[in-house]
Structure 1
Amino acid sequence: MMKKIQGFVLLLLFFFLLPIITGLLPFPNNEKFVPATPEEKIVYASNDLVVSDVAPPIDPFKVLLVFTHSHETYKPFVENEKGMVAVYDDHSNLFSMQSLFEDYFRLNGISATTLDVDVMNVMKQNGKAFHEAYKTARPYIAEELKSNHYDLILDIHRDSTSRNKTTIVHKNVSYAKVAFVIGAENPNYKSNKTLAQALSDSMNQIIPNISRGIIEKKGSGVDGVYNQDLAKEMILVEIGGIDNTEDEVYRTVAVMAQAVANSIAKQ
């Protein structure tokens, strides 16, 4: 009798363990199901000018982005970020926007790098006055140019003038206007100006009158050089003014990147 009970228990145990044992065997249909991870896609801010995918690289064209007045910012940008109004800020500023600036150039097949120095923070740490910004930035730029070659160097700034002078609407979309500043008292003046004019013209072909043109600086009370003597390929560009929005600025950077790819990079 005991043997019959033991046999019955063993039989029950066998049928109980059978599905588990079967599941562990290497049969074709017993593979563990792992849901496929959907392919991640990078989505960039879209408007009628930005391509939806990365353009083929324009080898070996390289752009260096410099932010001499790194804490320059836009009122709407700081207000959205911090709920306050400011035209200079330690964190929400041009320098903090560098990654997206670089992305727009890369979208157009251009290698873009930012000079990794917060110039105005260095000035603050060393007790430097505002007018010493170009002098403070100079050794960092010079050192970078010793180590690497760039086809275009853009020192990016924000103008202090009002919105009606720094904004343009094209096909119901608003953009921050740009102005190119050339130091007329440096040995690379003609080369700097020629390059700035080409970029200005190319941007205006994409968005009519988005560029305010070239502003030459010389004489007493102004810098007159702006470190542009360090390279024939260096120009200063002011993107918008204190009242322009973050979106307007980014749209204009997209136009600029496309203009560089369309003209200067293909020369």
Structure 2
Amino acid sequence: MERELKLTVATERWNSAEEWKELKGYAKTFMLLMLLSMTFVILIGIGSYMRHEISAKQTTYGLATVDIKQSALQGMLAEELPYYASNQKLDTFSLSSLGLWLLEKVTNVSLLDPASLVASEMLYSSVEEQSTLIHGGEGSDPAIAPQDDKNMSLAPIDDEYLDELLAEVGNDNSSEPDEVPVAPEQEEEPAQPQGVESAAKPVAFIYHTHNRESWNSETSNDDAQSTKNNITLVGQRLAEELEKHGLGAMVSDTDYPTAVPDYEWEYSYKYSRKTVKEAIASNDELQYVFDLHRDSQARKYTTAEINGESYAQVYFIIGQRNPNWKENEAFALKIHEKLEEQYPGLSRGIWGKNANSGNAEYNQTLSSQSVLIEVGGIDNTLEESYRTAKALADVIAQIHQSEG
């Protein structure tokens, strides 16, 4: 009887040990799965962060969701369908090649092309050209780039026109980059650009390549375009405020869609370039040229609260296709820094655009003190834009007076 009792106790202990081993096995499996899950979540977080950082510098790429080659797709099918592989001429496919492809799409770095390792840090590169925030400010967010109207962003770029004008400019680094040759027919009586001219001799010229850009608060159409309540009103207000500081200003309010026969949006800067050349040719004292636009970003990205009042933030756009773009950047930087001092948060910064992101010249080859200014966004109001026009006039006048 005693032996049977001992045997029973030993059996129970053995069973308990087996259960404990089984429980420990479950625990190990659970811990392993938990660690794998955490690793997976961390990797997703790192990937999201990298994607955010890359998109902040490079907004025109589809990252890891574009340019999948047909051969890569065929290779994936062949891995699972041997019959398909036996009837196709396929490139060699492997997980390593897929990994290289993913690495290139996520980071824009190709292990097969060493130049790509430094391309993202260079302004111009044989691999890819970047459009970036050149100078940020208190009101800037590197991840939020200027945005064209959605209905216009698909318009093709007039590359032929750009090539022609850049061939005209060439690599001329003369001391007077803003001098414009006057056509023979303009020498005796140069054409005056359509618009409003001040009584004083103008030193600033204000125009609007996309003159119908308006705001949701002023229009009822989807694209916020208007023939009357548009960005030209802000240009006129800027001129009026400059006049109060003793600076003469001339404003073009040309409505290009009606003034130009067979108007096409992709030729916008070709039309406005003629306007700028006529203004410079007819006024030899012009020093500053401003092309005022309205951004299409949402209100939360284009509004600043200063001393209890809301302002439409500004973004200075520099076309890096212009061989002398650094001179224009230096001019924009003066305005940006003055705004930072006196209206903190009003400037979103200076954004450089290259050939991959639009026109990238913006008539800035005509003057070293020419800059495109995005005033507010599609959700801002005309009143907020007027406040910004006054702030711009204040700092422009100060820069003019300091430089004599």
The answer to whether the superposition gives a TM-score over 0.5 is: yes
Retained in 2: the 8 A contact 1:138–1:227? yes
CA deviation vs aligned residue, 1:154-179 (integer Å, no higher than 9, x gap): 00000000100100001211000000
Which is further off, 133-142 or 253-262?
Answer: 133-142
Please tell me whether residue 249 in structure 1 is matched to residue 385 in structure 2. yes
Retained in 2: the 8 A contact 1:69–1:120? no
Aligned pair partner of 1:156 in 284, 289, 292: 292
Q: Distance in 2 between matches of 1:160 and 1:119?
A: 20
Q: Distance in 1 between matches of 2:375 and 2:357?
A: 23
Matches within 5 A, 1:45-56: none
Retained in 2: the 8 A contact 1:120–1:133? no
Q: Distance in 1 between matches of 2:357 and 2:384?
A: 31
Aligned to 2:138: none
Aligned pair partner of 2:367 in 222, 231, 235: 231
1:151 Cα deviation (Å)?
A: 1.2
Structure 1, unaligned runs of 5 or more: 1-58
Matches within 5 A, 1:63-212: 63-78=204-219, 86-123=223-260, 126-149=261-284, 150-212=286-348
CA deviation vs aligned residue, 1:92-120 (integer Å, no higher than 9, x gap): 11124443232111122211111252223
CA deviation vs aligned residue, 1:59-99 (integer Å, no higher than 9, x gap): 977110011100001111336xxxx6651111211124443
Q: Return closer, same or farther for 1:240/1:116 CA change in 2, 3 Å cut-off.
A: closer
Q: Distance in 2 between matches of 1:151 and 1:265?
A: 13
Q: Return closer, same or farther for 1:96/1:61 CA change in 2, 3 Å cut-off.
A: closer
Retained in 2: the 8 A contact 1:182–1:192? yes
Displaced runs of 4 or more, over 4 A? none
Q: Return closer, same or farther for 1:211/1:134 CA change in 2, 3 Å cut-off.
A: same
Work out the number of aligned pairs and report it.
Answer: 203
TM-score by length of 1: 0.71
Q: Distance in 2 between matches of 1:165 and 1:96?
A: 22
Retained in 2: the 8 A contact 1:67–1:95? yes
Please tell me whether residue 217 in structure 1 is matched to residue 376 in structure 2. no
Residue identity opposite 1:258 in structure 2: D
Structure 2, unaligned runs of 5 or more: 1-199
Q: Distance in 2 between matches of 1:262 and 1:77?
A: 32
Q: Percent identity?
A: 29
Retained in 2: the 8 A contact 1:203–1:210? yes
Residue identity opposite 1:184 in structure 2: Q
Retained in 2: the 8 A contact 1:61–1:265? no
Retained in 2: the 8 A contact 1:184–1:224? yes
Alpha-carbon RMSD across the aligned residues, in angstroms, is 1.9
Local SS of the residue matching 1:75: coil
1:136 Cα deviation (Å)?
A: 1.2
Retained in 2: the 8 A contact 1:70–1:120? no
Retained in 2: the 8 A contact 1:168–1:174? yes
Q: Distance in 2 between matches of 1:188 and 1:109?
A: 30
CA deviation vs aligned residue, 1:18-76 (integer Å, no higher than 9, x gap): xxxxxxxxxxxxxxxxxxxxxxxxxxxxxxxxxxxxxxxxx977110011100001111
1:193 Cα deviation (Å)?
A: 0.4
Residue identity opposite 1:119 in structure 2: Y
Q: Return closer, same or farther for 1:97/1:263 CA change in 2, 3 Å cut-off.
A: closer
Retained in 2: the 8 A contact 1:68–1:120? no
Residue identity opposite 2:211 in structure 1: S
TM-score by length of 2: 0.48
Which is further off, 59-68 or 193-202?
Answer: 59-68
Retained in 2: the 8 A contact 1:181–1:214? yes
Local SS of the residue matching 2:249: strand
Local SS of the residue matching 2:224: coil
1:221 Cα deviation (Å)?
A: 4.4
